[in-house]
Structure 1
């Protein structure tokens, strides 16, 4: 039950906004209310807003009722600024409007676009946005601006504050302002005259106070996100420029950012990076100081210098992609990851040489080597970005990972860093490591903390006291350089800024938010122990996911991220279930399990793409399979055994059902068939699978084909899907995939071998995905034995026409069978044996989850470019969400995952993938006829 005030709010707000975007139950308030920080508050209500009008309606009512609200975008914030115990407003992932200026000099962005999406939009023009946080693939524009998030390369010159052009804002009372529109500003002047006069008077008083003004200028030469952007009061005279620049870094405490327009920056494609190893952190920091001064003097062009101390290198030295020599380094060795970018290759070579000359005086542990190889330097940066979560992966279960974010004046960097390391020893944080954006004097230090005892909390408090004295007092640095103040540093703002500046910040908060309803407790917080309260537990739940630190990097790639839960949220709920069970709150645990069934288990595609986005490879899909296995009843297990032992009959039944459905469709027509099946599905409470006109026809394949003997031999295993499911009635193709594949192989000169008893063979994936582990293993073993025999004990390559099946085989087989799916087989075994003539028509390709996880995404693009003059790859489409048979039983998952597909491939004439079930869903929700890539290859090729 909601408290009375919130119930009244709910009753009133549902008159204006859809009820289905409001959540008050225990599952969603916990799942949606959790961010990446080590703090937790459970909101009374979560509202997932789709547009600005909904935000305005909520704020006007909240203002009237004096109920606090907190804004949240992606929830990658680390300092406790995106949590609430009142109303949490989350911007929906569907709020992604944008507009690029005709000359591409600026771009207007809605709050829910991720930084990566914004850069994808700008990439064709050779542009990008300035901010480049490590979380850019997950972090959304609203949060990037509200936190003044910076990152690896942008420094202070290209952050949100410096690249801001204009904003559209909604204030706490619902008033709107567009700082690029003169009419909007004129209206605001009339309604908020006193507000603007106060703002100008604040700026005047600060400018007249030489001591404070000087301090502000000095501190913002460094990265600084502690408190409000007081530099706005010094840098500008125009009240609207002051206003909008104060919003940058205000963490949702002053207004809601409806839209932000950034000046774009150049995105040079010619880049080079080097991992440079120094004997110790002092030597590395001295090198950073020299590089910084040389850059300021115009002697070198260096875009980023990232420091990684020995503890940081140790945390990733076991990564198979890292050099093996890392393990042999002494305990003091420190690395700098240096990047330089240029307009062209010639300039790049010059810049590399200048940097090398700048470092000649330093003793290096290994020779200096710059790489221009995209794959190689991308891996360097991927590892650097994954350092924080990587620490979480090796922590003791139940402890939190804390990342602090400070900046020192560059001239003191070496000295201050050594003193910081001394504090680690003093307070026994022996596992702490340091990394960060060294060129800006910005360091992150990471350590693990147990908050389960008062002694441990006291240790943390004592440590933070010493850190704040070292940074803010001794070296006049920034306690928060880019992660925002949040609750984490709110108690220490006055220590860093002094009384006059801190009182000005309180005045600013009062001016913008007189009733203190916007994110109270963040930035301005009089509780001197705020950093020690509302600490988030991270209990153990399952070995498969216990390493998770809830950073949220996984969320953008999850197909259910709009429909139900994300991988992070699934882990949050499982942890809470385990916690409740541990304290014997069995009823609450069971209630939460029941709520979790649909959102957590049924609508998880188990695509495991989350593992590809997770810096430590956590696979929440495997957790779902584990939970499904736990739910298997003896009766279900018996049925699964029956199917396993009578697989060919099962396929025959499927064919019969598909043929019957298509016959009925041909008699009734599409409209009546949809109406009839929708009605039956509704009556059955969605137990009857959804019918679609893209449903394949039932087919059988004839493996007894005539062919010539050849020295080139291949074992072809058509998957059970493609032995059963043919073309749909909506398809424009004439031949079945089996026939196309045979024709293609014969064209390339192959003699085809089919495994014996093919009708009873299956890779086991349909069983595995539903939790029938034993049956999956049985089918996998049977198939492996059959393929070994057919391939003459792995002498010949094995081709399967369905990518997900190949991935299952590769994971399950114990032998040295060489199993290929269509993309890799085409590139390695077909292209050189065929004459290819590109089609001069645009094609769209969809890389399945399996191809992505097998590292074949780029190869699919390569194959597409071999066959067509234009290849369209939708940037925001990851897993299609069909997930085997989920697309029939839970079509809303498929629909949600592909919601942006139609607009992404409007230009495409043809569309291709490598999995029959994926192609059903892709065809259904795109309006294009998706088929196997072999159709395209067969069309554009001829025998040599």
Structure 2
């Protein structure tokens, strides 16, 4: 078998660049991991960027009889995106999206993140129908492949129901665009036998009343178990049948390369209510009553679920006092206008009039209160994951019952939890669709525990199917998890029809075998993922992948999920015995896992359990750099000299640039970088000049001082780019702008001696960084009169670190806050008509100041561009000088989006260097733009 994969890799290398054909142990393990509790390590991981590459992959897969699994974002929960064959990932060539017909439709490729599609549709008050909880991470390819739904989607707005057309590639490499009549006609000519077979299936179902009724009834509620057999009932044209069979087929029938969706309305008016009931039975009966009301969402939460979040910050106090039998419904009503909203609220309240609740039946339109309610709901899954025992897996199952059976079904499900000792299990879900999720933790290292899980799932299947004829998978997809139970749910006749479909589309069985359909009745309890203890910083990780879209190294090396997967494997091997791959894994991880981690912390904001993988990278750097502790201590103690030397170094390069020119300097720096094994920076034409100094003693504290200005060390040493039209240093601009606004500014007289310590912290020298921070802390306390005078720092990353570390009496102002509070009110602003790009730094995001920066930019320019798919710029302090490939990868989408802009603004000098280099326009502090478009008020 390995020979077949080797031959496949050799042949496919004629069509796919070798760097996108991955076989090393580190990346096959890392990239092969998805959000499910299964682990299979691919023989090969391919990254494809266009249809022709997919066609060639399919061609050689058939030639060499190797298995293929297509992967989008890897947020799948049921094991449908893992393989021990060839894993085919989507590269950056699949990110196109286009709004059509004034928002009525959207054309999108499979690599587009669901939330991105909705961003494009937002100006038209439209959105795509599917609204999975992972929409900020999952991609259209996965949404289609799993027929994903969500909280408000129900059964009416999923992909199956809102599909206009698709472009697909069959297992034999044939491309069909179902929205193009010429393509349909050509396909009829070339694949008449396949279409005839589908037509025959349609006729057989139509002429078989019991099977026809079975299919219709199974899709009255949410159902993603097996194939979308409703296509054989709902459509008569075999091409329409085919494209709807592809929906929810989890990559087992073909590859979807483009989709056109009919969009749905995004209502502007919304109201929510958290309704508390005495017991789950009353709660469930209220759901039945609400099923005829004009509600958009009804989310059920049992008492265990409420208990899991009741002590979280911001949760209502009354949650902690509820009885053990209590439960809740989170109800949302939506409308196009205020009058319609009030009408719908009245109808909804009327539907509930016969039910007693523990609190008032009050709906609110207050955005903060609504957000609080929905945070309760969204926090349920991670709440269980965060408190599970180390080494255990968090499992979320997904079933559906007819709504009228919801009450007894929930009670019986809770009884099963008690029988099998899943005491921590919680139930929640999209009750309006009869769709329940239940979450529990499981140890897969003990065979007895695996058997307990298997016995439990057997009884769950009997409960769902045998007693209530429900769905074993409502929206998470069949995957490997429920593949052994498809026949149990559907019956032999429908099950064999599904095998017939599989054989028709994939006669060699090469596409994602054992997913959806399997003859292996133990597939659901094989290849279970180990979750070994690794480090307290990351042990809570559930490997969901929500962190990946915001990671700057995602297209270069690894993501936070990947880093954690490899760390767990390294720790496992250290404990259980190192195998042949250990040293290779360890060596590769140094660059891929540690050196190229920007450690920006944005992953913690996306992570359901708040893990900051950057903390792990800094910890590992600290362990590696202990031998350099003395150098770090010397640097901390002699920072004034280092500042002076850095300024002189930039002055020397200014002289060299004038003497040699950029081209020669770039060539020289490449040679030196090679000789020093990458320990010297690579020069480029966006490199900063030396910053002009200011005399801090001329800005001493007096009775008029309104703010202390502490420039970051980057601002003190790095001036603007050589080609920037404004050659003033940021310190000069800041002081002149403050003077224009009438703000009296003072500075530390010995400011060059001080730093917040971030440069040392990022390299893992924590003690030395804290020593620098403490010296700065004392100096600022003294100059600010123990915090009476606020302190402004001109660089957001420094503000963020100082907020966490300095004496709480010191009132710190980010440059955005300083501008909006103290400068803008005192200035006349004449906004420029030239387009301005805005980069929101990681620290700005973490401080919650992104909207303030954007609002300020819009005061200064009538055309503001906020590039999409740019989170962290990847410059990461001085990493952009030493490892520029991280910065280049993170900013790859930038230049095309800012081509019409004259300039860009941000709030970090080092970030601005990288942004200038990779955008083609100069980036500088927001103060430069504000100064240029403002005048003093008279």
**Taking structure 1 as the reference length, what is the TM-score of the superposition?**
0.97
For 2:656 and 2:809, how far apart are their aligned partners in 1? 46
**Match for residue 468 of structure 1 among 435, 439, 461:** 461
* Cα-to-partner distance string for 1:599-643 (whole Å, 9 max, x where unaligned): 111110000100011122110011100110010142x21211121
- 1:653 counterpart (641, 645, 650): 645
Cα offset, 1:874, TM superposition: 2.0
Task: Provide the residue aligned with 2:105 in structure 1.
Answer: 106
Q: Report if aligned partners of 1:93, 1:113 keep a CA contact under 8 Å in 2.
A: no
1:401-426 C-alpha deviation (Å, 9 max, x unpaired):
11110000011111111111111111
Structure 2 counterpart of 1:298: none
1:361-510 correspondence runs (5 A) = 361-510=354-503
Structure 2 CA distance for aligned equivalents of residues 476 and 89 of structure 1: 36
On the 8 A contact 2:7/2:64 being kept in 1, the answer is no
| Cα deviation digits, residues 567-602 of structure 1 (max 9, x gap) | 011000000001111102176433311111111111
Deviation at 1:701, TM superposition (A): 2.8
- Structure 1, 476-485 or 446-455: larger mean CA deviation: 446-455
Aligned pair in 2 of structure 1 residues 484, 100: CA closer, same or farther (>3 Å)? Answer: same
Per-residue deviation at 1:211?
A: 0.9
Distance 2:582 2:355 in 1: 59
In structure 1, C-alpha distance between the alignment counterparts of 2:91 and 2:381, rounded to whole Å:
27
- Match for residue 739 of structure 2 among 731, 746, 752: 746
Where does residue 145 of structure 2 map in the other structure? 146
How far apart are the structure 1 equivalents of 2:371 and 2:18?
44
The answer to whether the 8 A contact 1:732-1:929 is kept is: no
Match of 1:360 in 2: 353
**Partner residue, 1:665:** 657
Q: Does structure 1 retain, via aligned residues, the 8 Å contact 2:689–2:719? A: yes
1:911 aligns with 2:910: no
Q: Which runs of 5+ in 1 are unaligned?
A: 295-300
Superposed, which structure 2 residues align to 1:17-28 within 5 Å? 17-28=16-27
1:767 corresponds to:
760
Following the alignment from structure 1 to structure 2, what is the Cα–Cα distance between the partners of residues 631 and 808? 23
Q: 1:297 maps to which residue?
A: none
2:595 corresponds, among 596, 602, 608, to: 602
Moved more, 221-230 or 118-127: 118-127
Q: Distance in 1 between matches of 2:200 and 2:68?
A: 29
1:264 pairs with 2:244 = no
User: 2:699 and 2:137 mapped to 1: Cα distance?
Assistant: 53
Residues 1:788 and 2:788 aligned together: no
Residue 176 of structure 2 is matched in structure 1 by: 177
Measured after TM superposition, the shift of residue 901 of structure 1 is 1.4
Distance 1:131 1:773, change over 3 A: same
Q: Aligned to 2:697, what secondary structure does the other structure show?
A: coil
| Residue number in structure 2 paired with 1:900 | 893
1:706-748 CA deviation, whole Å, 9 max, x = no partner? 6896545211101111111111102122322111111222233
- Partners of 1:338 and 1:582 lie apart in 2 by 49
1:275 alignment partner in structure 2: 274
CA distance in 1, matches of 2:837, 2:375: 28
Aligned pair in 2 of structure 1 residues 777, 865: CA closer, same or farther (>3 Å)? Answer: same
Q: Which moved more, 1:261-270 or 1:761-770?
A: 261-270
Deviating more after overlay: 46-55 vs 766-775: 46-55
Tell whether 2:933 aligns with 1:936: no
Deviations 1:83-140 (A, max 9, x none): 0001000112442012222433221111111101111111122211111100000001
Spell out, residue by residue over 1:503-558, the C-alpha distance to the aligned partner (whole angstroms, 9 max, x if none): 00000000000000000010110111111100000011111111000011111011
CA–CA distance in 2 between the matches of 1:525 and 1:587?
A: 33
Q: For residues 863 and 283 of structure 1, what CA distance do their matches in structure 2 show?
A: 51
Question: Which residue of structure 1 lines up, in the alignment, with residue 726 of structure 2?
Answer: 733
Distance 2:241 2:695 in 1: 75
SS across alignment from 2:864? strand
Q: How far apart are the structure 1 equivalents of 2:318 and 2:933?
A: 47
Q: Deviations over 1:186-219 (max 9, x none)?
A: 2222222211111111111111111111111111
Provide the residue aligned with 2:328 in structure 1: 335
From the superposition, tell whether residues 654 and 708 of structure 1 become closer, same or farther in structure 2 (CA, over 3 Å).
closer
Q: Is the contact between residue 719 and residue 802 of structure 1 (CA under 8 Å) also seen in structure 2? A: yes
Cα distance, 1:58 vs. partner? 0.7
> Which of the numbers 786, 795, 799 marks the counterpart of 1:806?
799
Change (3 A) 1:588 1:500: same
Q: Say which SS state the counterpart of residue 494 (structure 1) adopts.
A: helix
Give the secondary structure class of the aligned counterpart of 1:665: helix
Cα distance in 2, alignment partners of residues 901 and 365 from structure 1: 52
Q: How far off is 1:350 after superposition?
A: 2.6
Alignment of 1:670-681 (within 5 A): 670-681=662-673
| 2:904 counterpart SS class | strand
The alignment status of 1:569 with 2:562, answered yes or no, reads yes
Q: 1:67 maps to which residue?
A: 66
* Displacement of 1:234: 0.5
Q: Structure 2, unaligned stretches of length 5 or more? A: none
Q: Is the Cα contact below 8 Å between 2:4 and 2:65 reproduced in 1?
A: no
Deviation at 1:379, TM superposition (A): 4.5
Which deviates more, 25-34 or 265-274?
265-274
Deviates more, 1:727-736 or 1:679-688: 679-688
Match of 2:5 in 1: 6
* CA distance in structure 1 between the partners assigned to 2:746 and 2:325 by the alignment: 59
Cα deviations across residues 3-23 of structure 1 (Å, max 9, x unaligned)? 222111111111111000111
Q: Residues of 2 paired with 1:354 and 1:830: CA distance?
A: 50
Corresponding position: 1:870 with 2:863: yes
Separation in 2, partners of 1:90, 1:435: 32
Displacement after TM superposition at 1:255 (Å): 0.2
Q: Report what 1:631 is aligned to.
A: 624
Measure the CA separation in 2 of the matches of 1:410 and 1:803: 51
Contact 2:206 2:233 in 1 (8 A): yes
Q: How far apart in 2 are the matches of 1:14 and 1:804?
A: 43
Distance 1:325 1:894 in 2: 48
What displacement does 1:461 show?
A: 1.1
CA distance in structure 2 between the aligned counterparts of 1:706 and 1:536, rounded to whole angstroms: 61
Q: Secondary structure at the residue paired with 1:435? A: strand
Q: Which range is displaced more, 364-373 or 330-339?
A: 364-373
The answer as to whether partners of 2:701 and 2:746 remain within 8 angstroms in 1 is no
Aligned partners of 2:435, 2:250: CA distance in 1, in Å?
20
* Superposition RMSD in Å: 1.7
SS of the aligned residue for 2:384 comes to: helix
Closer, same or farther in 2 for the Cα pair 1:348/1:430, shift >3 Å? same
| Cα contact 2:705–2:746 (8 A) shared by 1 | no
The number of equivalent residue pairs is 936
Are the equivalent residues in 1 in contact too, given 2:743–2:823 (CA < 8 A)? no
Give 1:269 deviation, angstroms.
Answer: 2.0
Do the aligned partners of 1:709 and 1:751 also contact (CA within 8 Å) in 2? no
Q: Which moved more, 1:536-545 or 1:906-915?
A: 906-915
Q: CA deviation at 1:61?
A: 0.4
Contact 2:168 2:254 (C-alpha < 8 Å) held by counterparts: yes
Distance 1:420 1:567 in 2: 35
Confirm or deny: 8 A CA contact 2:394 2:542 kept in the other structure: yes
Q: Which residue of 1 aligns with 2:55?
A: 56
Contact 1:849 1:878 in 2 (8 A): yes
Equivalent of 2:528 in 535, 540, 547: 535
Structure 2-normalised TM-score? Answer: 0.97
User: 1:839 maps to which residue?
Assistant: 832
**How many Å apart are 1:563 and its aligned residue?**
0.8
The answer to whether the 8 Å contact 1:166/1:179 transfers is yes
Distance 1:587 1:252 in 2: 33
Q: 3-state SS of the aligned residue for 1:705?
A: helix
